[in-house]
Structure 1
Amino acid sequence: MVKPIEFKFNDYLNKGFELIKKDYGNFLLAYFFCIIMSIIPFCGFLAMGNFYKFCRRVDRGETANAGDIFNFDDFVPYFILQLIIMAGIFAIYIPFIILIPVVGLFGDAGEVTGTASVLIIMLTFLYILALIFAVFYFALKGFYIPGLISLKKVKDIKTGWNMSKIMTKNNLLLIFLFSIVVSFLSQLGILACGIGVLLTMPYYYTTYYVALEDAIRQIEYDEIKEIGLKEKDEY
């Protein structure tokens, strides 16, 4: 049963830190493997998803092997997801591809008046604002898709998108702030002359895992509860 998720901002920050302390050396190795995996074309998201699986094993006290980052079981859904993102990026640039030659054509002909120039600048500015809003909206609405693919085994991107839209309802601002805070905390290693980034970046992934795992548990709890109620009704 998919529902809007109770987003536990502070809990995720704390539990992400607690999780990474369980096996820090292995987490760091897994993060290095993620970097290597991301070099392979179309495997960046897959590496991230595999890291979430690794986090789950550590979280549950199971044997966790950093080498599992190189697992390709979920390659197809992540590949399709990246193709969709690439198509979206291409669509974003279509207006610019059309606008730039038109402006250049009129400019060469000396037909761009001051009013027309201002209008073009205003339209471009408004388009960029709308573009920024759209990018953030779709990124935040799709926040749970990686967790649904890797942790919930949802292989259909359309299904994952529809589930994530419901799960993020009323939480977009919290998710946005969460992303900013986690990114900031994971980058604190820059203060240690750069090498510290390698020590703090795993926190970024572990904290995201905690948020995704909690969401999965919430919807699975409701699914089990609903099944129980149906069984009672049958009796």
Structure 2
Amino acid sequence: MMKISAKPINFKFNDYLSNGYEFLKNNFGNVLVAFLLCIVMSIIPFCGFLALGNFYKYCRNLRMGRQASPGDIFNFDDFSAYFILQLIILGGILLLYIPLFITMPLAAMANGGEPSAGMPIFLIIYMIVLYIGILIIALKAFYMIGLISLGGVRDIKTAWQMSLTMSKGNLLSIFLFSLIVGILGQLGILACGIGLFLTLPFVHTTHYFAYEDAIQQIENDEIKEIGSKNEF
């Protein structure tokens, strides 16, 4: 079993926002083209996360002055890792809804086929608990895409365990960060939709800097070794 050497991250909220903005401003044309191709790539089934991961790789190469082409978005090197991740997410969501599929028919049968008076209350409580649970899991898994795309950690269990450690003590910061950049991303709707092509790339450049900084904080020979092992 691979040894996990991750540590809680010093989450630099303001740096990610400012760096993401400056990077987008200085490379707007290239980033916009790459982001549009990312949208096209996301249309392909099970390629949404892969497109984002490739976008973050593109941002890294562009930022470091390496050879970078927007066409790099259509790279399938990490497909298997993201495919497995999305299957796990899909299976987890279906599993969470099983209690509803079982409880609702049983409640109707117990009530002579009539809707149960307590069912709406149960549904409300269950859905609240369900969404809170999903939110917490999503926050704990925040770094997984960055670990796969930028850290080369293609084993999903390893990426989850590392993200779990890295997000420790940062769940509120990650939530506020995601909420704020999400709101900023949606502000483009106020510009008749055209603004989305300005604000949505900003959302993902800020995420790139959050992932890049986290990788740099935990980067050592071992994480490189993990990436190398999982490539083969």
Q: Which TM-score applies when normalising by structure 1?
A: 0.88
Aligned ranges 1:35-114 → 2 under 5 Å: 35-109=39-113
Counterparts of 1:129 and 1:189, CA distance in 2: 29
Q: Which has the higher helix share?
A: 1
Aligned-residue offset at 1:117: 2.4
Q: Which TM-score applies when normalising by structure 2?
A: 0.89
**What does the per-residue CA deviation read over 1:17-76, in whole Å, with 9 as the maximum and x for residues that have no partner?**
011122111111111101110110100100000000001011112222000000000000
Unaligned runs of 5+ in 2: 222-232
Counterparts of 2:187 and 2:102, CA distance in 1: 42
**What does the per-residue CA deviation read over 1:130-158, in whole Å, with 9 as the maximum and x for residues that have no partner?**
21111011100000000000000001000
Aligned-residue offset at 1:109: 4.5
Unaligned runs of 5+ in 1: 225-235
Are the aligned partners of 1:42 and 1:79 in contact in 2 as well (CA < 8 Å)? yes
**Aligned-residue RMSD, C-alpha:** 1.5
**Structure 1 match to 2:132:** 133
Counterparts of 2:188 and 2:66, CA distance in 1: 29
Aligned-residue offset at 1:100: 2.0
**Structure 2 match to 1:9:** 13
Aligned ranges 1:129-208 → 2 under 5 Å: 129-208=128-207
- Larger Rg belongs to: 1
Are the aligned partners of 1:141 and 1:165 in contact in 2 as well (CA < 8 Å)? yes
Counterparts of 1:68 and 1:196, CA distance in 2: 25
> Alpha carbons of 1:109 and 1:73: their partners in 2 closer, same or farther (altered >3 Å)?
closer
Are the aligned partners of 1:145 and 1:161 in contact in 2 as well (CA < 8 Å)? yes
Are the aligned partners of 1:22 and 1:58 in contact in 2 as well (CA < 8 Å)? no
> Alpha carbons of 1:94 and 1:25: their partners in 2 closer, same or farther (altered >3 Å)?
same
Q: Is 1:34–2:57 an aligned residue pair?
A: no
